[in-house]
Amino acid sequence: MIRDITLGQYYPIDSVIHRLDPRVKLVSTLIFVISLFMFKNFSGYIAATLFLFGIIKLSKVPFRYMVKGLKAVLILLMITVVFNLFLTPGKPIFEFWIVTITDEGLKTAGFMAIRLTYLIIGSSIMTLTTTPNNLTDGLEDLMRPLSKVRVPVHEIAMMMSIALRFIPILLEETDKIMKAQIARGADFESGNIVQKAKSLVPLLVPLFVSAFRRANDLAMAMEARCYRGGEGRTKMKPLIYQANDYRAYALNAAYLIAVIVIQRL
């Protein structure tokens, strides 16, 4: 059920992209997403398509794996397209009853569809090729300047990695509680939405109680192992840029320049 979500799950394989520094991947994703929203004509999309497919090829992650992730947002995608298609004012090219499709509408809808699809594929390449831990490390490092303005960067990163560690444990626990409640006659399957939501109460209450208990235990275990926040902490796996990472940055810069130039043409 919840286990089947593929969107953004790490795909363990060895590739150039997998070996890149997480910071590079975060920055590149950001650049790619920004570039998507800069385009106003088709030539820009050709550049983005080439770039995206180049990266997909390099990452060695099967293409269908990424498309699978798209399924989760298909409805959102359709809604956006439909709204843009029918509600953009402009020169009508098709009229039927109250439905009007305009030239501009068709164009924006098409762009929007491509933008969203690329956005999702682009960001899922990042999560597919980076372990969650690596990702939090990268985020922590990139956000470090924010700690100057009192943003608890280390704490946020630590919370993220602990959350990631406990997701499978809590899933298992949910499963266990569910079975225990079913054994005692609870019904999670039948009824309308309201009844189904109500039947989740005997599932959620014990789950929350146990999550708090776990949190308490974990905090004690962390303190017992001398955890006292980010200060004075060393890293077992520090992030160090390799030659390939600089190349990736250069490639990003080249891509950004190319996009800007194409827009000007």
Partner 1 sequence: MGIIEAAKLAFEYIRRDEDGNVESIVRALDGIDLDVKKGDFIAILGHNGSGKSTLAKHMNGILFPTEGTLLVDGKDTADERNIWDIRQTAGMVFQNPDNQIIGTMVEEDVGFGPENIGVPTEEIWKRVDAALKSVDMVKYRKHSPNKLSGGQKQRVAIAGVVAMRPKCIILDEPTAMLDPIGRREVIETVKELNEKEGVTVILITHYMEEVISSDKVYVMDGGRIVMQGTPKEIFSKVDELKKYRLDVPQVTLLAHELQLEGIDLPDGILTIDELVGELC
Strand partners, 100: 95
Number of amino acids touching partner 1 (CB under 8 A): 28
CB of 204 to partner 1, least distance (A): 20
One residue of 15, 88, 133, 263 binding partner 1 per CB under 8 A: 133
Per CB under 8 A, the list member of 217, 241, 242, 253 interacting with partner 1 is: 217
* Options 18-26, 45-53, 101-109, 216-224: segment touching partner 1 (CB under 8 A): 216-224
198 binds partner 1 (CB under 8 A): no
Measured torsion, CA atoms of residues 93, 97, 98, 101, in degrees rounded to the nearest 10: -20
| Ranges assigned E (strand) in the chain | 92-96, 99-102
Q: Is 234 in the site for partner 1 (CB under 8 A)?
A: yes
> How far apart are CB 151 and partner 1 at their closest, in Å?
21
162 touches partner 1 by CB under 8 A: yes
Q: Do residues 33 and 125 make contact, with C-beta atoms less than 8 angstroms apart?
A: no
Phi, psi dihedral angles at 37 (to 5 degrees) = -90, 0
Other CB atoms within 10 Å distance of the CB of residue 142: 16
Asked if 19 is part of the footprint of partner 1 (rule: CB under 8 A), the reply reads no
- Measured distance between the N- and C-terminal CA atoms of the chain, rounded to whole angstroms: 49
Residues of the shown chain interacting with partner 1 in the complex, contacts defined by CB under 8 A: 131-133, 161-162, 164-165, 168-169, 214, 217-218, 220-228, 232-238
